[in-house]
Amino acid sequence: QVQLVESGGGLVQPGGSLRLSCAVPGSIISPYGMGWFRQGPGNQLESVAVINDIGFTNYDASVKGRFTISRDNAKNTVYLQINSLKPEDTAVYYCNRPDRFYTWGQGTQVTVSS
């Protein structure tokens, strides 16, 4: 069973930055697209960024220009650099394959508040 381990969240002030990591230990991610998702308080799960197997990226309009998704296939890890954070970015962030979900990890909490 593929394991997804998200980390890097925290409490930051508006305008701050964080770098989230998603490790996929024991599995090879290089052939697959990967994505970051988030679920805010009272909201549905939404996709925020995806990266395909050759590095092309796509972003939700709400995060474009502030979030950057990247991957290190040698480390089986996907990253999400999040800048210029806003209170509405507060959510639990998850990673997963966008085309065929693995069992979800525990996510990492991002809280944006002054």
Q: What is the DSSP string of 21-54?
A: EEE-TTS--TTS-EEEEEE-TT---EEEEEE-TT
Residues 6+ apart with CB under 8 A from 99: 32, 33
What's the confidence (pLDDT) of residue 87?
96
**pLDDT bracket for residue 28 (50, 70, 90):** confident
- Residue 26 — very low, low, confident or very high, per pLDDT cuts 50/70/90? confident
Over residues 57-62, the mean pLDDT reads: 97
CA 27 to CA 75: how far, in whole Å? 10
* Confidence category of residue 27, pLDDT binned at 50, 70, 90: confident
pLDDT tens per residue, range 43-53: 899 999 999 99
State the CB neighbour count (10 A cutoff) for residue 87. Answer: 12
